[in-house]
């Protein structure tokens, strides 16, 4: 979905495995984005989950991890796209 949301997302497709490391470029930290998504039953792993307390003081605070191995991934991805559309719309206003 990065192609559809280059203003909001940046990532490099993994060579192997089922984990993506994504940068959110929409002006909130991955923790803030994670809380917003959690309210909609979408789970991501914000930067603090893999970088600890250092995440707040590093550029990494805008990154999050997504696992593709879940059976519900197609539904979760569609719900995530809806959130991205809302965020993009709010940023345009």
In this model, does residue 67 exceed pLDDT 70?
yes
In terms of Cα–Cα distance, which of 49, 51, 42 is closest to 80?
42
Greater model confidence, 14 or 27: 27
Q: The sheet that has 63-67: what strands, in order across it?
A: 9-11, 19-24, 63-67, 45-46
- The per-residue pLDDT of the chain, averaged, comes to 82
Greater model confidence, 50 or 37: 37
Give the rounded percent of residues in the chain with a pLDDT score beyond 90: 16
In this model, does residue 62 exceed pLDDT 80?
yes
> Cα–Cα distance between 51 and 28 in angstroms, integer?
17
List of E strands, 25-92: 45-46, 63-67
User: Can you give the pLDDT at residue 76?
Assistant: 84
Q: What is the CA radius of gyration of the chain?
A: 13
Q: What are phi and psi of 15, to 5 degrees?
A: -75, -30
**In which band, very low, low, confident or very high, does the pLDDT at 91 lie, cut at 50, 70 and 90?**
confident
């Amino acid at each position: 979905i990065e192609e559809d949301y280059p203003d909001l997302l940046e990532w490099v497709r993994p060579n192997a495995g089922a984990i993506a490391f994504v940068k959110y470029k929409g002006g909130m930290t991955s923790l803030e984005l994670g809380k917003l998504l959690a309210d909609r039953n979408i789970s991501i792993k914000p930067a603090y989950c893999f970088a600890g307390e250092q995440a707040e003081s590093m550029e990494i605070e805008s990154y999050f991890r997504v696992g593709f191995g879940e059976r519900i991934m197609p539904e979760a991805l569609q719900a995530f796209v809806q959130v991205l559309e809302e965020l993009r719309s709010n940023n345009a206003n």
